[in-house]
Amino acid sequence: MVAEKDLEESLDTLRANAAGPVAGVFGPASLTWQIDREAVLFLGAGRALLLQLAHPWVAAAIAEHSRTLADPIGRFHRTFDIVFTMVFGSLDRALLSSRQLHRRHSMIVGEMPETVGPFAAGSRYCANDIPALRWVHATLVETALMAHDLVLPPLSAEERDRYWSEARLYGALFGLKGDDLPADWSGFVAYTKAMAQSETLTVGPAAREIAAQIFSGARPWLRPPRWYCALTASMLPERLRAGFGFELDARAIRSADHALRWIRRVYPKLPGRLRYVGPYQEAQARLRGEARPDWMTRCLNRAWIGRPQMDVRGKLGSRGKLVAACHSGARGARARNPFLRAFRPHDGFRARAKRRAPE
């Protein structure tokens, strides 16, 4: 388990290797910024979540401690707020987010309500457990590159090694030390392949229920479009896809292929202001010495992290005026940006996730 002392030791190592107080952990010359700034990485968000749910400890923790189903938008904002602040925030903000995440995880402990895979009913789980943290970290790293390579030119073998080297630094923000992670990219690939085949990843009733609620829940306006669900299912290992009860019929495959062809044609041509996530644009403004990002960046931040600025908490000016400006700017951006329009939920969509009774 990662204790507070372990986290601080990891953060000391990270601080010594960080890009700088203003540039943060990685900085503009890093592959991490180059990859993680892309809004198209959202194509992999569903996959990363499902892979995490496939770990019975993660599924039990979310079912018992999370407000994901009651407040899915809030969960989205909190997750991306932490991730983007760690990646694009100033060094102090990144370290603060790391400590906040550790404190939050330290309160997530409990017992397995039933036996799932190798985890017996009544056995203890803890969110700061090193193997569980290693797996969550792996889902974020692997899925980011997979989503990137779906649309943009894939990274070379040398670039993948470099990206993984930076990802090991990212792992320190979870409290993971060098010995907790594979040494190089080939080792990381071997680890994820072994995990995909291991009983450690077993889709249990809690995981299926959460997935069904997210992908075909009671709130139609939050349901992902058919093509997104099909793409998400196609990105999963076959064993886990079957475990979640996702079926890929010919119609679903065609919808995903059509959407992907369209995104590949349109997305690379978008201007950076529409293509790159708000936290990256805020980071660039910070490097230019600007104390506050402009209105469009603040609006993009509202969409991605639920607040206008990473490095400052609290109100910035008149909240009412800011929210109105964000809504107006978002409508304008959606009208100008066909990529954003593609994420409107499909009214006719019905997910094929089956709710299975416990075996």
Query: Judging by beta carbons within 10 Å of its beta carbon (0-12, 13-18, 19+), is residue 126 exposed, middle or buried?
Result: middle
Phi, psi of 299 (to 5 degrees): -70, -40
pLDDT average, residue stretch 328-357: 42
Q: What is the predicted pLDDT for the residue at 330?
A: 41
Please check whether residue 288 is in contact with residue 296, taking contact to mean a CB–CB distance below 8 angstroms: no
pLDDT (tens digit per residue) in 152-184: 999 999 999 999 999 999 999 999 999 999 999
Confidence band for 68, pLDDT divided at 50, 70 and 90: low
> Could you tell me which of 118, 110, 173, 117 has the C-alpha nearest to residue 141?
173
The burial class, CB within 10 Å (0-12 / 13-18 / 19+), for 249 is exposed
Highest mean pLDDT among 53-67, 266-280, 328-342: 266-280
Strand partners, 28: none
Please provide the average confidence, as pLDDT, over all residues in the chain.
87
| Range ranked top by mean pLDDT from 23-27, 289-293, 336-340 | 23-27
**246 has a pLDDT exceeding 50:** yes
Tokens representing 164 are 């993984």
Phi and psi (nearest 5°) for 70? -75, -30
- What pTM value is reported for the model? 0.84
Q: Residue range 37-53: average pLDDT?
A: 96
Strands (E) in 105-156, as ranges, are 109-111, 124-126
Which residues, 6+ apart, have CB-to-CB distance to 114 below 8 Å? 121, 204, 205, 358
More confident residue, 11 or 71: 11
Is residue 306 left, alpha or beta, with left meaning phi > 0 and alpha meaning psi from -120 to 50?
left
Residue 69 pLDDT greater than 70, yes or no: no
Q: Give tens-digit pLDDT for 250-309.
A: 999 999 999 999 999 999 999 999 999 999 999 999 999 998 999 999 999 999 999 999
